[in-house]
Protein backbone atom coordinates (compact mmCIF):
# COMPACT_ATOMS: atom_id res chain seq x y z
CA UNK A 1 0.00 0.00 0.00
CA UNK A 2 1.16 3.52 -0.74
CA UNK A 3 0.38 6.94 0.67
CA UNK A 4 0.34 10.36 -0.95
CA UNK A 5 1.78 12.99 1.33
CA UNK A 6 1.51 16.72 0.67
CA UNK A 7 3.49 19.19 2.78
CA UNK A 8 4.15 16.50 5.39
CA UNK A 9 0.48 15.49 5.72
CA UNK A 10 -0.71 12.05 4.67
CA UNK A 11 -3.68 12.71 2.38
CA UNK A 12 -4.55 9.47 0.58
CA UNK A 13 -3.71 5.78 0.86
CA UNK A 14 -4.24 3.20 -1.88
CA UNK A 15 -3.86 -0.53 -2.31
CA UNK A 16 -2.35 0.00 -5.76
CA UNK A 17 1.16 -1.08 -6.63
CA UNK A 18 3.79 1.64 -6.36
CA UNK A 19 3.75 2.25 -10.12
CA UNK A 20 -0.06 2.36 -10.23
CA UNK A 21 -0.15 4.68 -7.19
CA UNK A 22 2.34 7.09 -8.79
CA UNK A 23 0.38 7.05 -12.07
CA UNK A 24 -2.89 7.70 -10.23
CA UNK A 25 -1.58 10.43 -7.94
CA UNK A 26 0.15 12.21 -10.85
CA UNK A 27 -2.84 12.03 -13.20
CA UNK A 28 -4.39 15.35 -14.16
CA UNK A 29 -7.87 14.21 -13.06
CA UNK A 30 -6.63 13.26 -9.58
CA UNK A 31 -4.72 16.54 -9.25
CA UNK A 32 -7.87 18.46 -10.19
CA UNK A 33 -9.78 16.55 -7.51
CA UNK A 34 -7.12 17.45 -4.93
CA UNK A 35 -7.45 21.13 -5.86
CA UNK A 36 -11.25 21.09 -5.66
CA UNK A 37 -11.71 19.00 -2.49
CA UNK A 38 -11.25 20.78 0.82
CA UNK A 39 -10.48 19.89 4.42
CA UNK A 40 -11.13 22.54 7.07
CA UNK A 41 -12.00 24.92 4.25
CA UNK A 42 -8.60 24.60 2.57
CA UNK A 43 -7.91 22.78 -0.74
CA UNK A 44 -6.11 19.49 -0.26
CA UNK A 45 -3.50 20.68 -2.77
CA UNK A 46 -2.63 24.22 -3.84
CA UNK A 47 -1.42 23.15 -7.27
CA UNK A 48 2.25 23.78 -6.50
CA UNK A 49 3.25 21.81 -3.39
CA UNK A 50 5.29 18.72 -4.13
CA UNK A 51 3.91 15.24 -3.66
CA UNK A 52 5.64 12.43 -1.82
CA UNK A 53 4.55 8.89 -2.58
CA UNK A 54 5.77 6.48 0.07
CA UNK A 55 4.97 3.12 1.61
CA UNK A 56 1.93 3.36 3.87
CA UNK A 57 2.42 3.20 7.64
CA UNK A 58 0.64 0.62 9.80
CA UNK A 59 -1.79 3.30 11.04
CA UNK A 60 -2.59 4.31 7.45
CA UNK A 61 -3.15 0.68 6.47
CA UNK A 62 -5.45 0.26 9.49
CA UNK A 63 -7.42 3.36 8.42
CA UNK A 64 -7.67 1.97 4.89
CA UNK A 65 -8.90 -1.42 6.12
CA UNK A 66 -11.40 0.22 8.46
CA UNK A 67 -12.80 2.42 5.68
CA UNK A 68 -13.18 -0.53 3.32
CA UNK A 69 -14.95 -2.60 5.95
CA UNK A 70 -17.59 0.13 6.33
CA UNK A 71 -21.01 -1.25 5.25
CA UNK A 72 -21.76 1.86 3.18
CA UNK A 73 -18.55 1.37 1.20
CA UNK A 74 -19.28 -2.32 0.72
CA UNK A 75 -22.68 -1.48 -0.79
CA UNK A 76 -21.10 0.94 -3.28
CA UNK A 77 -18.28 -1.49 -4.06
CA UNK A 78 -20.61 -4.42 -4.78
CA UNK A 79 -21.52 -2.86 -8.14
CA UNK A 80 -17.85 -2.92 -9.16
CA UNK A 81 -17.09 -5.89 -11.42
CA UNK A 82 -13.28 -5.61 -11.27
CA UNK A 83 -11.58 -8.67 -9.82
CA UNK A 84 -8.74 -6.64 -8.32
CA UNK A 85 -9.91 -3.03 -7.97
CA UNK A 86 -7.66 -0.19 -6.91
CA UNK A 87 -9.15 1.47 -3.86
CA UNK A 88 -8.32 4.94 -2.57
CA UNK A 89 -9.06 6.17 0.95
CA UNK A 90 -8.66 9.77 2.07
CA UNK A 91 -6.87 10.04 5.39
CA UNK A 92 -8.12 13.57 6.04
CA UNK A 93 -11.74 14.47 6.64
CA UNK A 94 -13.10 15.99 3.46
CA UNK A 95 -15.48 18.92 3.90
CA UNK A 96 -19.02 18.13 2.85
CA UNK A 97 -20.44 19.96 -0.12
CA UNK A 98 -22.56 22.89 1.09
CA UNK A 99 -25.33 21.81 -1.27
CA UNK A 100 -25.51 18.44 0.50
CA UNK A 101 -25.91 20.16 3.87
CA UNK A 102 -28.73 22.33 2.50
CA UNK A 103 -30.57 19.28 1.15
CA UNK A 104 -30.14 17.37 4.40
CA UNK A 105 -31.68 20.17 6.44
CA UNK A 106 -34.68 20.62 4.14
Average pLDDT estimate for 42-63: 94
* 92-103 pLDDT, tens digit each: 999 986 544 444
- Domain, as residue range, for 100: 2-105
Residue that wins the pLDDT comparison between 104 and 68: 68
Tally of domains in the chain: 1
Helix (H, G, I), strand (E, B) or coil at 90: strand
pLDDT number for residue 105: 41
The pLDDT score that the predictor gives to residue 87 is 94
pLDDT band at residue 83 using 50, 70 and 90 as cut-offs: low
pTM over 0.75: yes
Percent helix, percent strand, percent coil in the chain, to nearest 5: 40, 20, 40
How many CB atoms within 10 Å of residue 33? 14
d(CA 28, CA 32): 6
- The C-alpha atoms of residue 92 and residue 43 are separated, in whole angstroms, by 11
Amino acid sequence: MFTLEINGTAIVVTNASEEEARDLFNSEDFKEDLKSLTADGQPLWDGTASFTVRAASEDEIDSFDEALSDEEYEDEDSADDDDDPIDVVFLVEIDEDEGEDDEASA
